[in-house]
Amino acid sequence: MQYTPVIGLEIHVELNTKTKMFCSCSADYFGKEPNTHTCPVCLGLPGALPFANKEALEKCLMIGLALNCKISKDSYFERKNYFYPDLPKGYQISQYRKPLCIGGSLALHLGGGKLIRINRVHIEEDTGKLFHKKSKTLIDFNRSGVPLVEMVTEPDFKNVDEVVEFAKTFQQIVRDLGASNADMERGDLRLEANVSLREIQKDNLPDYRIELKNINSFRFMQHALEYEIERQRKLLEQGVPLYKETRGWSEEKKESYLQRSKEDAHDYRYFPEPDIPAISFNDSDIERIKAKTPELFSSKSKRLETEYGLTSETAKTLVKQGMAGYFEEAVKEGEGLDPKAIANAIVNKRQSTELSPGEFTGKLREVTGKQETSMGDLEIAVLSVIKHNEKAVGDYKNGKESVIQFLVGEIMRETKGKAVIDKVLKILLEKLND
């Protein structure tokens, strides 16, 4: 029997708001003394009344819009009831029936631009944090009530590479929006995957799914998914039935382990939060939020390619370095200069970018003039760098395309920064692919 993976993804991302989701306590809890950023609301004390954080709601909408979601003009919060020591109220204020954002999509580079469907993007509050010390468990409630956005995809992923690319792209999006630092080491971004295997000849989804938790890096996600797919495959081939369950991931042991049987929505007994009014947005609210949404990495780099004729590599490097705005100002100031030459100089630090864009282009005129490296000299420089960097060349031929940037940098040093980066890339790729 042959099987194909069916994978869905849930990503939780902490928003970088000044205050918590339902109270005025500071949301900047990382590294602070335990239980110093708390109040009756986030401690769940009787009689404390929550109020919704407008900044958090708008950042959730920005994320939804960036993922092409439909915005719910009328939404409300619900209580998700369950017991755990880090949940002081005995319920979490979340969303279920009327999330803020529904039905979006995000295109991957893999699979020829395959679209991954987004089920929902909603907002909720984070829990406290448990610290296990020998025979005792300590609780820090500084994180309790911090705004948390949950994004849920449809089960559209067919392999591990697609999942990792999507998660990295989502991280870049929330950073571009300024909605979160999305630092996985700090716990700003948390990954959960729902994994099952479907018989290749069948179209319907399997009647079970395994939720994988405790995944706090993209590398760990790759390991966890590869392990879990193989574990399920072996069990199914042995005729062992699989059921809904939640499993944790141990990177140390390189294996998943059973945590509990998987809950269904009815186990949480959702009901509307009576202490917080319903949320309403009109068309002008949504247009206002769209207007202040920053340009995303992917669209900005594509625009630089289209408008200025830059290579994809150069455009992406400018955006990654945070120099796209500086580059565009320099193009305006440096009338008559080739935008590619300006981009080349910025990327390869041929002139100090501490200068104003006008001063930068003035210096560039003085230095470059007619000094561009000839094609013959450039080819010699490329061959020299290839010869002296065998490991990097080997890595490239084994599929590690990121080394191209390193090799380009070495060639620019060899030519003392006088080569045009587009020509460098063209000759380098020709030689590497011979």
The residues, ordered by sequence, that sit 6+ positions from 71 with a Cβ below 8 Å of its Cβ are: 61, 64, 65, 100, 101, 281, 286
Asked whether 121 and 150 are in contact (CB, 8 A), the reply is yes
Asked whether 340 and 327 are in contact (CB, 8 A), the reply is no
319: tokens are 């955006």
pLDDT digits over 267-323, tens only?
A: 899 999 999 999 999 999 999 999 988 888 888 999 999 999 999 889 988 988 889
For residue 337, pLDDT over 90 is answered with no
pLDDT digits over 221-263, tens only?
A: 999 999 999 999 999 999 999 999 999 999 999 999 999 887 7
The residues, ordered by sequence, that sit 6+ positions from 321 with a Cβ below 8 Å of its Cβ are: 346, 347
Give the predicted TM-score (pTM) of the model: 0.78
- The DSSP H or E segment spanning 425 is helix 421-432
pLDDT digits over 67-99, tens only?
A: 999 999 999 999 999 999 999 999 999 999 999
Q: Is 219 exposed, middle or buried (0-12, 13-18, 19+ CB in 10 A)?
A: exposed
pLDDT digits over 161-179, tens only?
A: 999 999 999 999 999 999 9
pLDDT band at 373 (very low <50, low <70, confident <90, very high): low
Asked whether 118 and 69 are in contact (CB, 8 A), the reply is yes
Mean per-residue pLDDT of the chain: 91
Strands 189-199 and 147-153: unpaired
d(C-alpha 93, C-alpha 274), whole Å:
11
